[in-house]
Amino acid sequence: MSYPSVRTTEGTIERNKAPIIEALSSVIQDDEKGNILEFGSGTYEHIEGFARKWENIIWWGTVRDDYEQNLVSTRLEEQNIRLSNLRQPRIVDFENSQHWDSLNAGVKYGHVSKPFIGVILINVIHCCPITLPEEVFKRLSPINPSSCPKLIDTSKGWIATYGPWLNDDGTYKSEGDEKFDKEYIKSKSPLLGLRTIKSITEIANKWGFIEESRKEMPKGNTFIVWRVKPQPQPQPQSQSSL
């Protein structure tokens, strides 16, 4: 993998879990059924909370590598976390085509019963090189002819992200964000860093999604939802009169 892992600072997960669940309630109904995928599930603490909140949803998480997969499996085992709607983590490195192929095979051959109704990325966009968010939207795209089978519901599927962002003009929202970006994120790798929502929306539009909403969150974070763009329906051909 060409970029380092960025660990969440202590206490962050517990602090932002409830606000994220509240924000997700705008796109997930209490009685909704289906499959939802989270990229970059880390310690699995967020997705565990989601699975407890929405018991009718089957939750699928991903991690970067074998090391993270073993950490999650060990935590779930040691804490005796056994939720029928929470699947074990899959390894998905956005740069690895074989991992995407494996995810596609899961949908194609029925390991995932239907395409995902939604996809979640928490504190992921600024922790990976700028080329990789496009890989996500391209692979999930409802209009990409090479994406077969479709990983996401092509009629109303959504992608939601949570994290810190730049203003749309490229400036920092606060001195704290600037310090976090320059001294913490970019110190890990110059490939990483805060992005503008506008730049990601441009990528989303290219691959068949539109920005549906933005919600300001605690500590300067923002929750954004992009939804599959409605596709024009073919018009019935008129019959010529003889």
In tens, the pLDDT along 158-211 reads 999 999 999 999 999 999 999 999 999 999 999 999 999 999 999 999 999 999
Q: Where residue 148 sits, what CATH number does that domain have?
A: 3.40.50.150
Per-residue pLDDT at 241: 45
> Phi/psi at 160 (nearest 5 deg)?
-120, 140
Whose CA is closest to 136, among 170, 99, 107?
Answer: 99
Let me know if residue 239 belongs to a domain. no
Which residue segment(s) compose the domain that 47 sits in? 12-228
235 found inside a domain? no
Residue 191 resides in a domain: yes
* Residue 6 counted as domain residue: no
> Is position 119 within any domain?
yes
Taking the alpha carbons of 9, 14, 16, 21 in that order, is the dihedral positive or negative? positive
Reported as a single tens digit per residue, the pLDDT across 137-158 is: 999 999 998 877 889 999 999 9
**Mean of pLDDT values over 107-115:** 76
For residue 109, name the pLDDT band (cuts at 50, 70, 90): confident
Q: 158 — alpha (psi -120 to 50), left (phi > 0) or beta?
A: beta
- pLDDT score, position 138: 96
In a domain, 30, yes or no: yes
Q: Quote the number of domains for the chain.
A: 1
- pTM comes to 0.91
H or E element at residue 35: strand 34-39
